Amino acid sequence: MAFNLKEIKNEVDTLLPKIIEIRHYLHENPELSLSEFKTSGFVREQLSLLDIEVFPPFLSTDVVALLNGNKAEKNVTLRADMDALPISEKNAISYCSINEGIMHACGHDGHTAMLIGAAIILEKFKEQLNGSIRFVFQPGEEIVAAGKDLVGKGILNSPKPLAVLALHGWPGYPIGAICSKPGNLMAAADIFKIKIIGKGGHGANSDQKNNPILIASKIINRLSLIPLEEFNTSDSVVISFGKFVGGTNSNVIPNEVSIEGSTRYFGKPVGERVPDLFENVLKTECNNADVEYELKYDRPYLPTVNNSEVVEKCKNYVKEFIKESAWIDIQNPVMSSEDFSYYIDENPGGMFFLGMGENCPDLHTISYDFNDAALKNGILFFVISTIRLLSYD
């Protein structure tokens, strides 16, 4: 069915001040993973103003809604994440976080605002929709990967989507550029926690064979060598350490030390080998030193693998209906991870990056702020891609 592009763009322009206001409200009121009660309530409030079916929560703070067009059996699903991070914001902006130690350092305020905007616009044009649209406002993307649980609840089963789309604000690309690639876009991420249990004592003790700090240091060194010794460079395995806790005083040897970090890679077979390699290192180092260990190794994030056909179609829509230069082909996948991977593990779909500007601060930093100037293209991308996918699939 034909649609009036000029009319859609005019509606987005008219709506944009409200979406910016919504984005600022969300930024000012961030909530951590699975505690997005105020956020999800706000989203439900916005959707209640529309002719959209909003479902009861499948987890606790999720919001899933369905907009029915002319052919309900055809579906496109649009997803945004809502949670913030445990970071203290240092931005000098009028809508700075009012929740101490919590901020939208990954731009989920922008993602949520854009999806609300897309819902408002698409509801206005529902008579032109050859299918239904599922809107998923997901909690707990950070660390807990709640997307896995939400998909596991069957939210994508009826109707099955012909495409699932998501946008993620991304520093380093021109403002408002839509960027993606077919195949691997983002890495898997495993999360590990290690506890080394040794023997505490006085710092003057000359026999420190089972000093857990020394053993933990050796273990970190050995684990760091796994990508070089066990894999090829093309496997792109990265093991990083983000937390090392042990001891309370310079003259006291602690009883135990804890280490936390992540492992990233693109190929599932690669990831299946890593837990055993960790066990081998820990057994060797701990047995030699007469200390004990505990290993918790979780694999919450799959690789994000885009469907080639969906990416190609959306690329064409962007170049034809937004602007030729608005599309950028991503050449290489990134080592960051996303639980959106669960949405497209068994369904066609794609993750797309939305340019935040070449000089935008990095994600997960104290000075990151989603760029309002990119909101318009983000909403247009969702709206136009949805209408076109439903019209021609």
Beta bridge partners of 165: 78, 350
Residue 247 exposed, middle or buried by CB count within 10 Å (0-12, 13-18, 19+): middle
Cα–Cα distance, 99 to 292 (Å, whole number): 40
Q: With bands split at pLDDT 50, 70 and 90, how would you rate the model's confidence at 19?
A: very high
Give the per-residue pLDDT at 2: 63
Give just the sign of the alpha carbon dihedral 229, 231, 234, 238: negative
Buried b (16+ CB within 10 A) or exposed e, 106-144: bbbbbbbbbbbbbbbbbbbbbebbebbbbbbbbbbbbbb
- CATH code for the part of the protein at 5-186+303-392: 3.40.630.10
Cα–Cα distance, 262 to 282 (Å, whole number): 16
| φ, ψ dihedrals at 21, nearest 5° | -60, -40
Q: What is the mean pLDDT of residues 97-113?
A: 98
Cα–Cα distance, 211 to 205 (Å, whole number): 10
Question: What are the boundaries of each domain within the chain?
Answer: 5-186+303-392, 188-301
| φ, ψ dihedrals at 288, nearest 5° | -65, -25
- Bigger pLDDT: 108 vs 208: 108
Tell me the three-class secondary structure of the chain, residue by residue.
Answer: CCCCHHHHHHHHHHHHHHHHHHHHHHHHCCCCCCCCHHHHHHHHHHHCCCCCEECCCCCCCCEEEEEECCCCCCEEEEEEECCCECCCCCCCCCCCCCCCCCECCCCHHHHHHHHHHHHHHHHHCHHHCCCEEEEEEECCCCCCCHHHHHHHCCCCCCCCCCEEEEEEEECCCCCCCEEECCEEEECEEEEEEEEEECCCEECCCCCCCCCHHHHHHHHHHHHHCHHHHHCCHHHCCEEEEEEEECCCCCCEECCEEEEEEEEEECCHHHHHHHHHHHHHHHHHHHHHHCCEEEEEEEEEECCEEECHHHHHHHHHHHHHHHCHHHEEECCCCECCCCHHHHCCCCCCEEEEEEECCCCCCCCCCCCCCCCHHHHHHHHHHHHHHHHHHHHHC
Pick the CATH number of 188-301 from 1.20.200.10, 3.90.1720.10, 3.40.109.10, 3.30.70.360: 3.30.70.360
Give, in order, the Cα–Cα distances in Å from 159 to each of 52, 67, 147, 317. Answer: 15, 12, 18, 24
pLDDT in tens, 241-290: 999 999 999 999 999 999 999 999 999 899 999 999 999 999 999 998 88
Structure tokens of 1? Answer: 């069915």
* Whether the Cβ atoms of residue 198 and residue 210 lie closer than 8 Å to each other: yes
Give the per-residue pLDDT at 207: 66
Q: With bands split at pLDDT 50, 70 and 90, how would you rate the model's confidence at 392?
A: confident
pLDDT in tens, 276-318: 999 999 999 999 888 999 999 999 999 999 999 999 999 999 9
Cα–Cα distance, 185 to 333 (Å, whole number): 4
Cα–Cα distance, 124 to 8 (Å, whole number): 9
Q: What percent of the chain has pLDDT over 90?
A: 91
pTM for this model (two decimals)? 0.93
Q: With bands split at pLDDT 50, 70 and 90, how would you rate the model's confidence at 202?
A: confident
How wide is the angle at C-alpha 336 spanned by C-alphas 331 and 342, nearest 5°? 100
